Amino acid sequence: MSLISAEKEILAVNGGTSVRKTLLPYGRQAIDECDIQAVVDVLRSDWLTTGPKVREFEEAFAEWVGSKYAISFSSGTAALHGAAFAAGLKAGDEAITSPLTFAATANCILYQGATPVFADVSRDTLNIDPAECARRITPRTKAILPVDYAGHPADLKAISELADSQDLIVIEDACHALGAEYRGRKVGSISHMTVFSFHPVKHLTTGEGGMVTTDNPQFAETLRRFRNHGISSEARDRQSTGQWYYEMTLLGFNYRLTDIACALGTQQLQKLESNLERRREIAARYNAEFANMSGVLTPQVLDGIRPAWHLYPLRLQLERLSAGREEIFRALRAENIGVNVHYIPVHLHPYYRDRFGYGEGAFPVAEKAYERLISLPMFHGMRDEDVEDVVRAVKKVIKAFCF
């Protein structure tokens, strides 16, 4: 039986009754008593930061994704900055990345004095198009930063082959993709460096936090020093050996993640498999309800891929609708469905327009997608009733505007 009647319902934005009484956010953290206790235990310990929980979290994380090293940072943005530094980006260099991402992916290139060069995305997954990357390589190019948009890995094989042929470093922005799998391998074990975020809307949270995984020992050592002011040793190691002497060997930052955060992350890591499974259940439900519905396109998943489903981005078929994305966004919000938009293409932000002279039409695939994208609520704490509310609201709103 359909979740809505054959007749069009009056939308809440037009005075009708909303599907929900309270707002369902597009994402949020899930914290239980075990998480709280893990944090309390650290608060009662001798180390609140630079202590044993940092290494414990890093080692457990590296084992989970299948990398040799994992280096924690105070945020995903800090982790991106660290990876750009470890890759040796500097003034005069270029690095290629996607325009359809959060600004931090491109900003980390600027932090190093290098120039971000955008390459348009593929129409299917909205991940960076390897052919477009190849067209933008110059003698100044030093790195490629693919983004695993919404949790679907980029075309990592093609990107890796391209990078190897040009002696480039791949910094994979997997802030959406913890737990995703690419051709049987977990994201985090494939690229030269892979960056993760532990923001509250992600698959596990440390409040704020990030991680870089790598198999390269030189990258790992540089990352550790960079997050700690460029200092060659850490406070806990010096205390355990009874030493005081240290040296600053490079210009770093204070990007350390605390023991408090790492205790939470270690505890959350134990629930990651179940969190991922729940997100996949929700995505399957959305796919079943929306795959054949006029007015929307569901996300495409390529063969050999298991997405992590950080986001569930619908694309509106505007040619079949009497309203634009903004009107549909407002209508769904009025139904108390906390939809969002991911993302305004980076090159269209005022800073990038003013500094680099970008304008509309520079990356048409990304720009067309942006005009049609709307992210539905997707987080592992959603109840079945929440999912049904989203389904009902989307059907109600799209039906109201569909030709």
The CATH architecture assigned to 33-269 reads 3-Layer(aba) Sandwich (3.40)
Homologous superfamily of the 12-28+272-401 domain (CATH) = Aspartate Aminotransferase, domain 1 (3.90.1150.10)
pLDDT of residue 237: 76
Q: What is the pLDDT of residues 340-380, one digit of tens each?
A: 999 999 999 999 999 999 999 999 999 999 999 999 999 99
Q: What is the pLDDT of residues 322-339, one digit of tens each?
A: 999 999 999 999 999 999
Strand-pairing partners, residue 121, are 128
Q: What is the pLDDT of residues 310-319, one digit of tens each?
A: 999 999 999 9
**Mean pLDDT, residues 75-79 taken together:** 98
Q: Which residues contact 290 (CB under 8 A, 6 or more apart)?
A: 296, 298, 314, 391, 394
Question: Is-catalytic flag, 68?
Answer: no
| Active-site entry in 53, 142, 186, 202 | 202
Question: Rounded to 5 degrees, what are φ and ψ at 349?
Answer: -70, 145
Instruction: Provide the residue ranges of all domains of the chain, joining segments of one domain with +.
Output: 12-28+272-401, 33-269
- The CA distances from residue 378 to 90, 202, 343, in Å, are 38, 10, 16
Q: How far apart are CA 232 and CA 1, in angstroms?
A: 65
Question: Rounded to 5 degrees, what are φ and ψ at 123?
Answer: -70, -25
